[in-house]
Chain A
Amino acid sequence: MTVGALDRMRTAGRVGRIQALLWRRPWMRAALLLGPGLTWFVVIYLASLVLLLITAFWQINPFTTAIERVWNIDNFRTLVTDGTYRLIILRTIGLATAVTITDAVLAFPFAYYMARVASRRVQTALFAAVLLPLWASYLARVYAWILILNHDGVLNWSLLLVHLPPASLGYTNWAMWIVFSYIWLPFMIIPTYAALERIPPSYLEAAADLGARQGRSTWDIVLPLALPGIVAGSIFTFSLTLGDYVTPLLVGGAGSSFIGNVVYGNVGIAHNIPFAAALAVVPVAVMALYLLGARRLGAFEAM
């Protein structure tokens, strides 16, 4: 036997021993596999989130803008008492609600068509067609709407074709409403479709046999059964609108700041990270409440 072969056997033995050890102790394997990813998450992500929460209770020195680790709730007090911030928070939540409702209304008939009318092949094609825009660059889609809503854009050109007066939607809250509804629409369609597809056709046949008209069975059977799906979709449309600041900056007007814009401004320009952190807690708190409500409506089973 050569030295090389012996060496190989010894290595194999060592590897084998380690393998046997790992095989006998599954928790060790689990720890080895999960360890690096989990460390990454705990050390970088979760630590950052906790730090964010803590920073919200600190303050900055108004002259040097250095962070002072003095515990207080002044940041939160400012949020509640200052009319400007209250308005911004209300605007953000209000628009997120409007976008969610719009997307639900747009998505439901489409998802219904996908799930109950379209053939199998059309169904697959539509599914892909809905997903594709979701992945086509976010900025590209916002930019597309800037071009459309422009004074010389496609919208006014089409209005002129049908002899209507030009609209000036660019840089308004209306523009934000349109762009957000457009961008997040696929997030609403997919869960709604998933919920509708799971409704057994026999339910509707039974309703029809018992004399229910189309409208009645849609209202009394389809809608309640699809509701968890719609709520699941609304989690995305609501949360994504709530945390956005790019669209308000690009298509919103002068008076259309979102929570995100103030956060961004306080991080980048004012260097008031404690205040930005306090403001960032608002969407997290709103989302936590929203998720609790959604859970009760059974949205998590529908996703």
Chain B
Amino acid sequence: MEGPWVRFALRVWAVGILLFLFIPIALVIVYAFNVSTIQSWPIPGVTLKWFGQTWQDPEVRRALLLSVEAGLMATAVALVLGSMAAFAIHRFQFFGREVISFALVLPLALPGIITGMSLNSFFAFNQITFSLWTIVIGHATFCIVIVYNNVLARLRRTSSSLMEAAMDLGASGWRSFVDVTLPLISTALVAGALLAFALSFDEVIVTTFTAGAQNTLPLWIFGAIRLGQRLPEVNVVVFFVILITIVPVVIASRLTGGGAAGRVEAVAAAEEL
């Protein structure tokens, strides 16, 4: 058993790791209020002026709009295809079931550059020009996995006898799906959708290969940091992106009772099969 000194050392270590994890995030939030255009520490003063200026920037607005559009569409595709696949894998035993469930998590398990690169050559090969749709295709490919895992995890925890009971009482398959299954999995669907949106909204690597000359919000940040330009606006956008990506995850984990660990569990769930 751990002695008092060991416990103390472990506690200190834990606090250290927490500081390590959160200080950078806290700092980057503070910089959004930096009055100076030079990003040094400590910041010389606090201001809100960059928020207004960033909001007025047409480039940022266009990038934000594209990100939201791509995120919503990729989430919609992922919701339909991901939950259908989860139903099939959950309900039926068939030849190749394990192979399919493994293939479905590949987009999350393989490095993003592989997914991006292969989609890029696929588009080039089929002479598809880059558009909103190529971004949506790229994002949906990994968003499907998120929804699939959330729905599958929920289905495993709900007993199929409820649905069978509804059908014994005369409900049609569709009716029992709408009245019994759907309410049971609804929060898993919402959680999956929120996580998928957060993932899509933040994606850089696959997007650089599927966007062409278009700028999503992360691509805009990426470009601005590389060139070292308009850093005050970058600060504000980064602050905003942190909010946008964290809030859905907090809501999602509430909805699934802390179960929406997302990426880590996504791969884990497939290995369990």
Contact = CB atoms under 8 A, between A and B. Distances in A.
Interface of A: 15-16, 19, 22-23, 26-27, 29-30, 33-34, 36-38, 40-41, 44-49, 51-52, 55, 106-107, 109-110, 112-114, 116-118, 124, 126-148, 150, 152-154, 157, 182, 185-187, 189-191, 204-205, 208, 214, 232, 235-236, 239-240, 242-246, 249-250, 259-260, 263-264, 267-268, 273, 276-277, 280, 283-284, 287, 300-301, 303
A7 B109 CA distance: 51
B253 interface: yes
B118 A49 contact: yes
> Which secondary structure dominates where chain A touches chain B?
helix
B55 interface: no
Contacts of B92: 26-27, 29-30
B17 interface: yes
Given A34-B100, A129-B18, A143-B234, A134 B121 contact: no
Closest 4 CB pairs of A and B: A243-B111, A152-B40, A144-B24, A48-B118
B208 A41 contact: no
A41 B109 CA distance: 15
Contacts of B39: 147, 150, 152
Given A142-B225, A239-B111, 6 more contacts: A30-B88, A40-B140, A133-B25, A135-B249, A139-B222, A147-B41
A34 to B, nearest CB: 4
B174 A19 contact: yes
B141 A44 contact: yes
A152 B38 contact: yes
A139 B238 contact: yes
A147 B27 contact: yes
B246 A117 contact: no
Interface of B: 1-3, 6-7, 9-11, 13-14, 17-18, 20-22, 24-25, 27-28, 31, 38-42, 80-82, 84-85, 87-89, 91-92, 94, 100, 103-104, 106-107, 109-115, 117-122, 124-125, 137, 140-141, 144, 148, 172-174, 198, 202, 204-205, 208-209, 218, 221-222, 225-226, 234, 238, 241-242, 245-246, 249-250, 253, 258, 261-264, 267-268, 271-272
A49 B241 contact: no
Contacts of B104: 37, 41
Contact of A33 (B85, B113, B114, B258): B85
B245 A137 contact: yes
Contacts of B2: 116-117, 214
Given A34-B84, A154-B41, A250 B172 contact: no
Contacts of A204: 1
B121 A51 contact: yes
A291 B162 CA distance: 39
Contact of B271 (A126, A276, A300): A300
Contacts of B42: 157
